[in-house]
Amino acid sequence: MSAGTRLLAAFVLGVLTASGAPADTQRPQVLRDVGFDQRLGAQVPLDLPFRDEAGRDVHLGDYFTGKPVILVLAYYRCPRLCTLVLNGVMESLQELAFKAGDEFQVVAVSFDARETPEIAAAKKAAYLERYGRPGSEAGWHFLTGDQPAIDRLTEAVGFRYHYDAQQDQFAHASGVVVLTPGGKISRYFYGIRYEPRDLRLALVEASQNKIGSVVDQLLLLCYHYDPARGRYAATVVNLVRLGGVLTVLALGGFLVLAWRYERRRAAKALELAG
């Protein structure tokens, strides 16, 4: 099996495993332990030690500063899949009015303990240039670390991967995790492309509505998160609920206009009587 075939198979398997599709027990050993196990609501250990792209010693909790976090598990020398995941995140975020560093943080963590801050720094520079929003360098972080910290983090979020020594590459699932400002797992998104609307709604929910607009709140009435598919989907119940809210708002607006009309009419009558 070629390296390209292994990576493609790992991607397909990661999506199937994450979505709950039955696993093939006859698949190659290199792919058997690859996938995403959802652990919604679980706490990520914030005391984990890593190194940032400048080589400084940091803890994961340093990036939880009252804002939701998009966590990307990727090794920076990955020839294909990890780059596609990071590209998908960056392209989705380019379409959002939210800005990395202002409303949320992006934290990429390499699961290859051999990688260095120098590699991470080059990766960060490339994505900051593509993101193209001045002042966002405080919102993107590319970390490296030792195996114990990597193991604790991947275990906490249910990320399973397998190292192929023959190819010197990793077979792994593809996706990102949205965490609350307190470090709890809020949402998973699978694959290599992420709907900007879904990421926005996930960030609004993870922040407990501290970011976003009234429109976002209305959209959250229409859409609910589907854990099996790792995306937001419309439901009839929520659409009916939104219809009820809009009806109440319309009636409220009508009553306010009617009240103002009656006040003006009464004032005019008094003026004429005087």
Quote the tokens at residue 186.
Answer: 């809020």
> Any residues with CB less than 8 A from the CB of 212 and at least 6 apart, and which?
200, 203, 204
> Any residues with CB less than 8 A from the CB of 165 and at least 6 apart, and which?
none
d(CA 139, CA 235) in angstroms, rounded, equals 34
- H or E segment at 141? strand 140-143
Q: What is the CATH class of 3-194?
A: alpha beta
d(CA 220, CA 7) in angstroms, rounded, equals 35
- Structural domain boundaries in the chain: 3-194
Question: Residue 234, SS3?
Answer: strand
**pLDDT tens-digit profile, the chain (274 residues):** 444 444 444 444 444 444 444 445 555 655 667 899 999 999 999 999 999 999 999 999 999 999 999 999 999 999 889 999 999 999 999 999 999 999 999 999 999 999 999 999 999 999 999 999 999 999 999 999 999 999 999 999 999 999 988 889 999 989 999 999 999 999 999 999 999 999 999 999 999 877 777 676 666 667 777 888 788 887 644 544 555 555 666 667 767 776 777 777 766 766 666 5
